[in-house]
Amino acid sequence: MLQTTTSANDYQMALSMLESKIKLMRYSDATLRTYRYMFREFLKFVYPKRLYHITHTDIYRYQSYIVSEKSCSRSYQNQSINAIKFYLEHVLGQEKQVFALERPKKIAKLPEVLSADEVAKILLNTNNLKHKAMLTTLYSAGLRIGEMLSLKLGDIDSDHMRIWVREGKGCKDRLTTLSPHLLALLRVYYQSYKPAVYLFEGPDAKPYSASSVRKVLTRAAKEAGIVKRVKPHTLRHSFATHLLEQGTNLRYIQSMLGHTSAKTTEIYTHVSSKTLDEIKSPLDSMVSNGIFER
């Protein structure tokens, strides 16, 4: 009789192969964790069916399940699709055309942005020198949290006043600005902490913990009396918006942020207060022309 079920060990091997391939292709640790989790959840759904007996129908059933019964978010569903596609295409070597799923449409949300005054309050309410240096670096250079934590001492180029971002998103190197104020703060920080390799190190001389940075920022925002939900990426959004309001060319902002498409950077024109301040409502024109009073 043909065996149609499999053991948990076979599924564990599939997960190990997925993880090995992700590492080999040099995807980020965050992607590794996400794909591993998403693919494990899919395997739980189809267990104990043999992996080579899994059909597109099983995949569609799972997508229907997480949407209708688990009420998952659009982002969750997209990540689930990506993880399954990765296994089929990169681990099993199947052609891309053999697996197609309709992607859920993303909600076009505008980024949460802090005012310059709010950013200043956060930094002023961060008393620990290392914490202040980390949050200031995030904001003043417009870095992603992973990029900031991956900075090494040699990436701070004080001769040319720039910061090297090595293998940022998309495995691309780029340059961003080094503020004289940040440089002065980093020099004081260095004299106190003497990091060996990474600019911001944890107790084990490895990069500082991302979760700890998030906690530091949340606490500082709360102490500053800011009611907005502030995340490390909020500082990056604020950096880009404030540059735009200062009149910085959008192309330069795109380059410093490491955006492949200018359309990604253009979203900041929708949250810039300067842009809105320069637009006059037609109601005001009616009032100034005396039309509204009739």
Dump pLDDT digits (tens) for 186-198: 999 999 999 999 9
Helix axes 210-223, 116-124, angle to 10 degrees: 110
Which one has a higher pLDDT value, 198 or 268? Answer: 198
Q: Which residues are catalytic?
A: 144, 169, 233, 236, 259, 268
pLDDT of 237-259, one tens digit each?
999 888 888 888 888 888 888 88
The CA–CA distances, whole Å, from 276 to 115, 248, 269, 280 equal 14, 16, 9, 8
> How far is the C-alpha of 20 from the C-alpha of 283, rounded, in Å?
61
Among 139-153, 159-173, 191-205, the minimum mean pLDDT is found in 159-173
Specify the pLDDT at position 217: 96
| pLDDT(3) > 50 | no
116-277 folds as: hpI Integrase; Chain A (1.10.443)
Q: How many CB atoms lie within 10 A of CB 5?
A: 10
**Percent of all residues in the chain with a pLDDT value above 90, rounded to a whole number:** 42
Beta bridge partners of 152: 198
User: Which part of the chain has CATH 1.10.443.10?
Assistant: 116-277
DSSP state string for 55-82:
-HHHHHHHHHHHHHTS---HHHHHHHHH
pLDDT of 83-95, one tens digit each?
998 998 888 887 7
| Averaged pLDDT for residues 202-221 | 92
Specify the pLDDT at position 171: 66
Which one has a higher pLDDT value, 178 or 109? Answer: 178
Tokens of 222: 């709360």
CATH architecture label of 8-98: Orthogonal Bundle (1.10)
Specify the pLDDT at position 20: 93
